[in-house]
Every structure is written in C-alpha cells, then in structure tokens.
Amino acid sequence: MTDRSTSRSNHRFPCLAVWLLCSSMFGTSVVHAQALRPSSGLRVPAAPAASSATSRTADFIVALVNSEPITNNEVRQRMVRLEQQLTQQSAPVPERDQLSRQVLEQIISERAQLQLGAELGIRVDEAALTQAEQSIAAQNQLTPEEFRRRIAADGVDINQLRNDLRSQLLLQRVREREVDSKVRVTEADIDDFIRERQGSNDVASLQLHLAQVFISVPEDAAPERVQALQARAQSVADRARAGGDFGELAREFSEGAERANGGQFGMRPANRLPELFVESTRSLSAGAITGPVRSPAGFHVLKVIEKRQAGLPDVTVNETRARHILLRLSPQLSEADAVARLAGYRQQIASGQATFEALAREHSQDGSAQDGGNLGWAQTGQFVPEFEAAMGRLRPGEMSPPVVSRFGVHLIRVDERRQSTLSARDQREMVRGLVREQKINEALRTWVLDVRGRAYVEYREAPLL
C-alpha cells in the first residue's frame, strides 16, 4: 500500500483537495481494518466550499432516479470538485457540457446503487462513520480535532463531508456484498494468468507431483464387473477425502507400478503426464483429491501432492521485523494522554529502566502483547499507511516517537530488516491477489451497468453550466 501521509507543515494537504466521490465512477475502497493489516486504503474526502456563483443559482431538478431527485446544484458542485481534481493532477479537463453529462450519469449510477443498499437493509452506523473520519485524520498525520479545524479552514462543511463519507461507506458495503463476495479465483485461473504473462498457451511450464490409486479394468470386462470396479475406486476416493492416508490406500488397493511408493509419481512436467491427469487436476490445489476418473486402462483416484509453475521469476521483497506497544483510545484515555504515556515508556527504555518487550507485555492492547509486541516479519505495504510510514523511517534498533493511527497510538521499534525471495507458493498467492482484483474490476463494471439499467431514470432540465 502506498504511503499517503504528508508533512504537517503543508498548508493544504493533497488528499484534502477534493471529495471522495470524485475519485472514480466506481467509488473508492474503504478500510474495514483488522489488526494493522487492511486490504486497501481509505482515500480522503474533502472539498472546497461551493462557489458563490453556484450558491446564487436557483436550484431545480435535473433528473429522477426511481422518483428520487438529483438537483442542478448537486451536479454543479460535483463538477467544481472534479475540475479541481483534474487540474491538480495536470489532467485534461473536458468541455463543461461534456463534463456535466458525465457527472450527471455518475450521480445517477451512484444513486441507484445507494437505493439498492437501502433495499438490502445495509446501513452505516455512527461508530463506523466516526472510525472512518478518524482514519482520514490519522492518514493526514492529524488528530480528529486538528482535522476538523483544517477542513473548516478550507471551507468544507463537516456535515456534508460526513454525509458524503456515509454514502461512500454504504456504496462500498453494497459492492462488497453484491460483487466482491461472489468472486472466486481457482488454481486454473492462476495458471492461466501466469501462462499469459509468459506468452505460453500450453502446459509446458506446469510441474505436478501427483499420486494415484489405479484400479484396472480388463478390456473384455462385463458391465457388472466395470460397475463393481468403479464402486471400489469410489470407495477409495471417499476414504481419501475423509482423511485416510493416501499412501496406505495406494499400497493396499492400487495396481499401478508406483504402488510401493504410496502411489506417488514424483515431480514431473505436466507434458510428461497423461493429459487426463493434467486436466483433472489443473484447477486443484495441493492436497486435493479427484476421481475416480476413467481411462481406457481403468479408474484413477488422484491426489495433488504439489504443483509448481516453472519459469516464475524470482521475486525479492523487503521485509521488516518490528515490535510495537499499542494504546487504544477510549473515553478514559485521550490521544494526548496516550502520547504522553508512550513518551514516558520510550524514555524508560532509552534510559535502561525497562525493556521494550516487558512494557509491551504489560501495557500493549493487542494480540502481540504476549510476545513482547513482536509483529513478525512483514513485507512492505502490509501495515496501514500511517504505521508503515513511521516504521519506514527507522533503522534497526531505533524507536519511533508516539505514532497515531486509526487503531490508537503506537510506540514502534524496528528490530531487523532483510530481503527475501518469495517461495513458489507465495508467488502464486501474489498472483491470486492480482487475478482477484482483475476479476472484481470486471464484475464491478458489469454490476454497475446492470444496476443502472434496472433503475427508472427520468431526465428533466439540463444542468445549468
């Protein structure tokens, strides 16, 4: 995850320049944080005050979405924000009539999704809204109070900000329920992705370690005999899926030459295995059982021991082993008090009066406390941005000053850094994440169009530019 934090000395924060709703047609991801490792970042909503020309314009309805109105001022204010965003990014700004049509269609699409969320009973409570606002403040290295003062100075109405943030949280929850939760990534999807990147359309780069229980079927076997042998193979498969030792089952029942080796073939290129075996196991992960499958020789029950995609390039990643002491904010513990308390712990550690590990065990308020605050080895981007940025500035052995994040206030110490090469399994997990993101984006586009298409939209007057 990229670091979105900025220096406190900036008069206006880059991420405080535009509303969240302007980020894209499909909205932005919102963190549903667990521990310190979210799946995605939370962009920051904020906006300049509407121009005086906008505020003087008499408002009127430009469109209805299932009888819910969209007003001229909504379109104009969104246009102002989007124009500022594009200008900040040095991106071309469309002609105003074209931009107004795009903005109106975006608002219509979002309104239809919000209405669907209401029909599904999806809600955003005050606690979630407050947590999101605190996350925004933390990512900008601000306390919640400082954040509110800053956006007020920038002419942003806090109530409007919270309303728009509530809408974005609701949009995200609807999309997670209706799109994200339904996306599945198979092993075959991962293999296909890797082959595409390698420019290969065959299985030459795939290596498989399979085991089998083979039940032979004589060429002249009567149908009753074939059924009996199939039932025998099915019984073996059922026992294997129920947790039976596959090697023992192979030694007891298999008629294959590899029987004495627990039915294992060893690691082989996929093109040196029967096509039936490859096609039957391509979508399976290690440990999975398939079959019985029929070949001219008989019935096969197959187990995937291991699979590799030969030719995956080595991927080197930076890893950090750090510890922290976390104090969570509460009505009994303000942010200022937590900062002061951790500053005291830092002084005790620096002077040798206490160890970091001992203070973490005694005072830290998360699951790492019992291990002296140890967070283990983590790759770049695994922690939330405000934590990651502070950790990244430390050399091994150094402690940070108290760091505010969406989870509370931290004292961080970096113990060690290293570079490591990802294993084949870890590389496949990286690919799994890429494929999932790709599938979600494709499914989201289709879903957005479908929701928009099912909405009744009545256009009234064109927006006043």
CA separation, residue 320 to residues 380, 419, 421, 448 (Å): 8, 9, 14, 40
pLDDT band at 9 (very low <50, low <70, confident <90, very high): very low
Residue 31: what pLDDT?
30
If one compares 451 and 463, the residue with the highest pLDDT of the two is 451
Cα 287 from Cα 396, distance rounded (Å): 40
Half-sphere exposure of 372 toward its Cβ, with a 13 Å CA cutoff? 11
pLDDT above 60 (res 200): no
The structural architecture, per CATH, of the domain 316-421 is Roll (3.10)
- Average confidence (pLDDT) over 177-200: 82
Residue 238: what pLDDT?
93
Cα 455 from Cα 112, distance rounded (Å): 6
Residue 192: what pLDDT?
83
Give the homologous superfamily in CATH for domain 14-183+447-459.
Answer: Porin chaperone SurA, peptide-binding domain (1.10.4030.10)
Reported as a single tens digit per residue, the pLDDT across 44-55 is: 443 433 443 444
Closest-CA residue to 209 (of 262, 173, 172, 164): 262
Closest-CA residue to 82 (of 150, 143, 170, 17): 17
Reported as a single tens digit per residue, the pLDDT across 304-349 is: 988 876 655 556 778 899 999 999 988 888 888 999 999 999 999 9
pLDDT band at 360 (very low <50, low <70, confident <90, very high): very high
- Cβ(188)–Cβ(272) under 8 Å? no
- Cβ(247)–Cβ(254) under 8 Å? no
DSSP 364-412: --SGGGGGTTEEEEEETTSS-HHHHHHHHTPPTT-BPPPEEETTEEEEE
Domains of the chain, by residue range, sit at: 14-183+447-459, 206-309, 316-421
- CATH class for the domain made up of 206-309: alpha beta
Q: 295: part of which helix (H) or strand (E)?
A: strand 289-295
- Average confidence (pLDDT) over 19-25: 33
Reported as a single tens digit per residue, the pLDDT across 94-129 is: 888 888 899 999 999 999 999 999 999 998 888 888
Cα 135 from Cα 168, distance rounded (Å): 14
Domain 14-183+447-459 identical in fold to domain 316-421: no
Cα 333 from Cα 327, distance rounded (Å): 9
Q: 86: part of which helix (H) or strand (E)?
A: helix 72-88
Query: Which amino acid appears at position 235 of this protein?
Result: S
pLDDT band at 421 (very low <50, low <70, confident <90, very high): confident
Does this model's pTM top 0.75? My answer is: no
